[in-house]
Amino acid sequence: MKKSLFDQGYLDEQFYQLEELQDEVSPNFVEEVVTLFFRDSTRLVTNIDQALEKRPQDFRKLDACMHQLKVSASSIGAAKMKNECTSFKEFCGKESLEGCIRSFQKLKKEHSTLRTKLENYFQLLRQVGPVEKAVRSGK
Amino acid sequence: MENPLPSSRAEPFPAGLRVLIVDDDPTWLKILEKMLRKCSYEVTTCSLATEALDILRERRDRFDIVISDVNMPDMDGFKLLEHVGLEMDLPVIMMSIDGETSRVMKGVQHGACDYLLKPVRMKELRNIWQHVYRKKMHELKEIETHIHEDFNILRNGYEDLEDRYLIGGTETNSVRKRKDVDCKEFGDQEINDASAVKKARVVWSVDLHQKFVNAVNQIGFDKVGPKKILDLMNVPGLTRENVASHLQKYRLYLSRIQKQNEGRTCGNMPSDLINNDNRGNFVLHSTTNIPEDSELTKCIVRTESFHSQEIAPSAQNGETKRIVPVQVVGSKKSLLSNAPCTQKVNSVPQLGVLLSFKGMMPSIKEKSYEPTTVKHKPLHDDTLRKQLMQYPKQEDCSMLTDHSCFSNLDQDHAPSFNPLSTLPPSVISSSCTDERYMKDLCEMKHFLTDYRSGHFSSIPPMTCMIDSVSLQVKHGIVNAEDIGAICKLEGSPSTKDYNFDEAYNQGCFPLTCEFSLKSEAELDSFPEDLHLCSVQKIGCLENMTFSGAGFLPYIDSTPTMNEVQTNWYRGSEGHGEYFDDLDYPPINESLSA
């Protein structure tokens, strides 16, 4: 399952890095980080939503907010999200509100998709239980 | 909680390296923390820059290195970088998802020792210890260089000094100019610093030193760091390295003073030096061996001896923490004081002797020299002392021209000090000596400057003062002679607004030094009391090199930085004898007389 996530471009190298950090000291490290990410990113998405509704538009602020989200996405290797963040920022640069809105819609979609997939992934891991490691290496 | 020092850790370096991470993104914070822990580092996390600064300030020795994100909500990462560099002088690594060259360059310009791109890999974090190590090595090297130079200076003696001054002045100027230009043009202090260390020694004029002292006081001695001092000083062309090495010296000086204070009784100091007025101000008594020789020119005051001069603190009331002979931290500094001139110092009030601390002050600030001299207003000692050199501008240094009254320094200290009116100890900051001297002088000057309540324009190396002193002596300016120290340079311009820069550049620093030398006794102790006369363009500053005595350390039981600084300054002022303001009155007599 993980492989598919990678293949489809949802996750990148960074995710592997997180997995390598997981050890006996922090056995659920990856899941903790991902949970943290979604908690924080949801907040950021809300911020951007609110900022988008403001008139007149403050593109610099929008850009700054999106930058935060982009950084956040990079932390777990959420590749597709990151890309969408980049295009959103480009629209900000062009001061195209419409472009921003469209881009943001896509971004939110990516965000929720990733969340679902990762939730499934971790659930799977839990089910697998002690065989987790083997399973993961196999994937 | 306090992290144990690396040295106390069982594991070999770099294990146990104490890292502070600052990042507003909680996810990254968690990841980085984990990564660093895996490298066996000790990690502290922080999500706000302001919080990070608080943590660092609270216990600056707690960390070895700081890693910070560039984009943070409460403070720009670059700003944090600057603060940390200034205040704590810790290596800082910047991080960002943005790897654009301009950003990276900005980071380097602000002093970052590395710039990592997110996503950060663990192997990159493993190597951060090299920055800590490199920094330590660099600092050691700097100290070594300074010490080496100081030794050279001492060994070479007068002649050399003189020659050096002559040559050095020019060199210094040019070097400094170059440095300044570099700084301005490239804004890369690091580069300048590096080169500065090698070649251009900034001359720590009285003024500059005063600023330095002020800055240190402001920051708080415990929390002080070169970058912060640099920032507060706001002197163009002054590099962090300059400040760092100067700070080092200053610290050494302070600790030495402290030791001396402890070890010596006040009595040692030639109480006579200090006119017992407890003016509390420093008495510049730099015992240095000022050769009373008639050669005007250089009275080299040995800083070391200067220390002993601490004078009078004992004599004085404790309140005025007297500034003990300005000993420039490098004790190597030899104050060149015109012994002959100083001889008279008898009554010289606390003239801050401008001691040229060699190598003390790398940077010469050019401040307008304010001859706030001595107004010996009885400034609260504490204030002055603490201020380190805030010279109370002694406006009324009516005595002698407005020489920067070092006594101002004392003023704070010596509430009773009011010599200014009598004799404004003009600190002479003349030092065109070579950089080294200048440096010393600068240091001294700084003190002086500090004393003057900052008005003291940084007088370029006091070294020049010697010349002036001698000049004075020659010219019989000696009022100071009687007084011991007040040297008024003929034509000493109101040093007040003396821009040392100019003077410096010209190689001659017109220092109007009026030293009010404290009593001769003091003078003895304070060789530096050389009448620092403002050597107006006399170009003679060469001689005034005050050996380290420039600083009149305050002989406090526990000399605070401030005090010491002031003292220091005083010492550096060597030219003028920094006498604690306290002693001014005595000088007044002599001088005014």
DSSP string, A3-18: HHHHHTTSB-HHHHHH
10-residue mean pLDDT profile of chain A (139 residues): values are: 77 88 88 93 91 84 90 91 91 88 91 91 81 51
What integer pLDDT is reported at residue B343 of this predicted model? 38
CB nearest to A72's CB, from B25, B34, B37? B25
Burial B232-263 (b: 16+ CB within 10 A, else e): bbebebbbbbbbbbbbbbbbbbbebbbebbee
B118 inside 8 A of chain A by CB? yes
Mutate to test the interface with A, among B23, B25, B27 (most CBs of A within 10 A): B27
What integer pLDDT is reported at residue B123 of this predicted model? 87
Instruction: Give me the helix-helix angle, B561-572 and B240-263, nearest 10°.
Output: 100
Question: Between B157 and B109, where is the model more confident?
Answer: B109
What integer pLDDT is reported at residue B49 of this predicted model? 92
Question: Between B575 and B22, where is the model more confident?
Answer: B22
User: Is the CB of A33 less than 8 angstroms away from the CB of B31?
Assistant: yes
User: Could you tell me which of B444, B305, B428 has the C-alpha nearest to residue B361?
Assistant: B444
Q: What is the DSSP letter of B461?
A: -
User: Is the CB of A36 less than 8 angstroms away from the CB of B28?
Assistant: no
Tell me how far apart the alpha carbons of residues A31 and B488 are, in angstroms, rounded to a whole number.
78
User: What is the pLDDT averaged over residues B311-338?
Assistant: 37
How many beta-carbon pairs under 8 angstroms link A with B? 54
**Exposed, middle or buried: residue B491 (CB in 10 Å: 0-12, 13-18, 19+)?**
middle
Distances (CA, A) of B208 to A59, A83, B33, B349, B523: 46, 53, 42, 23, 25
Q: Does B384 score more than 60 pLDDT? A: no
Q: Do residues B351 and B587 make contact, with C-beta atoms less than 8 angstroms apart?
A: yes
Cis amide bond preceding B14, omega within 30: yes
Q: How far apart are the CA of B382 and the nearest CA of chain A, in angstroms? A: 48
Question: Between B301 and B178, where is the model more confident?
Answer: B178
Question: Between A97 and B459, where is the model more confident?
Answer: A97
For residue B464, give the 3-state DSSP assignment: helix
Residues 6 or more apart in contact with residue B174 via CB below 8 angstroms: none
Q: Does B277 score more than 90 pLDDT? A: no
For residue B498, give the 3-state DSSP assignment: strand
What integer pLDDT is reported at residue B1 of this predicted model? 45
What integer pLDDT is reported at residue B200 of this predicted model? 54
Q: How far apart are the CA of B187 and the nearest CA of chain A, in angstroms? A: 28
User: Is the CB of B30 less than 8 angstroms away from the CB of A33?
Assistant: yes
List the 29-58 stretch of A: residues with Cβ below 8 A of B: 29, 32-33, 36-37, 40
Which stretch, B122-131, B164-173, B200-209, B348-357, has highest mean pLDDT? B122-131
pLDDT tier for residue B523 given thresholds of 50, 70 and 90:
very low
User: Could you tell me which of B152, B160, B205, B195 has the C-alpha nearest to residue B174?
Assistant: B195
Query: Which chain B residue is nearest to residue A38, measuring alpha carbons?
Result: B27
The pairing of beta strand B18-22 with beta strand B42-46: parallel
Residues of A in contact with B119 (CB under 8 A): 13-14, 17, 74-75, 77
B592: left (phi over 0), alpha (psi -120 to 50) or beta: alpha
List the 71-100 stretch of B: residues with Cβ below 8 A of A: 71, 97
Q: φ, ψ for residue B336 (rounded to 5)?
A: -105, 115
What integer pLDDT is reported at residue B353 of this predicted model? 35
User: What is the pLDDT averaged over residues B9-20?
Assistant: 79
Q: Does B235 score more than 50 pLDDT? A: yes
User: Is the CB of A75 less than 8 angstroms away from the CB of B122?
Assistant: no
By residue count, chain A amounts to 139
Q: What is the pTM of this model?
A: 0.44
User: Could you tell me which of B180, B192, B30 has the C-alpha nearest to residue B120?
Assistant: B30
Over the Cα atoms of chain B, what is R_g?
23
B558, B561, B566, B567: CA torsion to nearest 10: 50
User: Could you tell me which of B34, B109, B97 has the C-alpha nearest to residue B71?
Assistant: B97
Q: Does B397 score more than 50 pLDDT? A: no
B187 inside 8 A of chain A by CB? no
Tell me how far apart the alpha carbons of residues B302 and B334 are, in angstroms, rounded to a whole number.
4
pLDDT tier for residue B167 given thresholds of 50, 70 and 90:
low
Mutate to test the interface with B, among A36, A75, A111 (most CBs of B within 10 A): A75
User: What is the pLDDT averaged over residues B247-262?
Assistant: 79
Tell me how far apart the alpha carbons of residues A9 and A16 are, in angstroms, rounded to a whole number.
13
Mutate to test the interface with B, among A71, A82, A83 (most CBs of B within 10 A): A71
Q: What's the mean pLDDT when you consider all of chain B?
A: 56
Residue ranges of E strands in B261-400: 300-302, 334-336, 368-369
**Exposed, middle or buried: residue A24 (CB in 10 Å: 0-12, 13-18, 19+)?**
exposed
pLDDT tier for residue B551 given thresholds of 50, 70 and 90:
very low
Query: Which chain B residue is nearest to residue A65, measuring alpha carbons?
Result: B73
pLDDT per position as a tens digit, B102-155 = 999 999 999 899 999 999 888 888 889 999 999 889 889 988 888 888 888 787
Q: How far apart are the CA of B78 and the nearest CA of chain A, in angstroms? A: 16
What integer pLDDT is reported at residue B160 of this predicted model? 57
Q: Give CA B153 to chain center in angstroms.
A: 18
Distances (CA, A) of A109 to A10, A40, A45, A61, B316: 12, 16, 11, 22, 80
Q: Which two tokens stand for residue A2?
A: 């993980």
User: Is the CB of A74 less than 8 angstroms away from the CB of B35?
Assistant: no
Residues 6 or more apart in contact with residue B12 via CB below 8 angstroms: none
A28 inside 8 A of chain B by CB? no
User: What is the pLDDT averaged over residues B45-49?
Assistant: 92
Query: Which chain B residue is nearest to residue A27, measuring alpha carbons?
Result: B34
Burial A42-78 (b: 16+ CB within 10 A, else e): eebbebbeebeeeeebebeebbbbbbbbbbbbbbbbb
Which stretch, B224-238, B334-348, B501-515, B528-542, has highest mean pLDDT? B224-238
Query: Which chain B residue is nearest to residue A24, measuring alpha carbons?
Result: B38
Consecutive H or E run containing B321: none
User: Could you tell me which of B360, B336, B352 has the C-alpha nearest to residue B404?
Assistant: B352
Tell me how far apart the alpha carbons of residues B333 and B205 are, in angstroms, rounded to a whole number.
14
User: Is the CB of B122 less than 8 angstroms away from the CB of A33?
Assistant: no
User: Is the CB of A40 less than 8 angstroms away from the CB of B27?
Assistant: yes
Residues of A in contact with B26 (CB under 8 A): 36, 40
Q: Does B466 score more than 70 pLDDT? A: no
Q: Does B304 score more than 50 pLDDT? A: no
What integer pLDDT is reported at residue B311 of this predicted model? 37
CATH number among 3.40.50.300, 1.20.1370.10, 1.20.120.160, 1.50.10.10, domain A2-126: 1.20.120.160
User: Could you tell me which of B85, B84, B72, B79 has the C-alpha nearest to residue B26?
Assistant: B72
Tell me how far apart the alpha carbons of residues B288 and B325 are, in angstroms, rounded to a whole number.
9
Cis amide bond preceding B119, omega within 30: yes
SS3 content of chain B, % helix, strand, coil (to 5): 50, 10, 40
pLDDT tier for residue B269 given thresholds of 50, 70 and 90:
very low
Tell me how far apart the alpha carbons of residues B202 and B222 are, in angstroms, rounded to a whole number.
24
Query: Which chain B residue is nearest to residue A22, measuring alpha carbons?
Result: B34
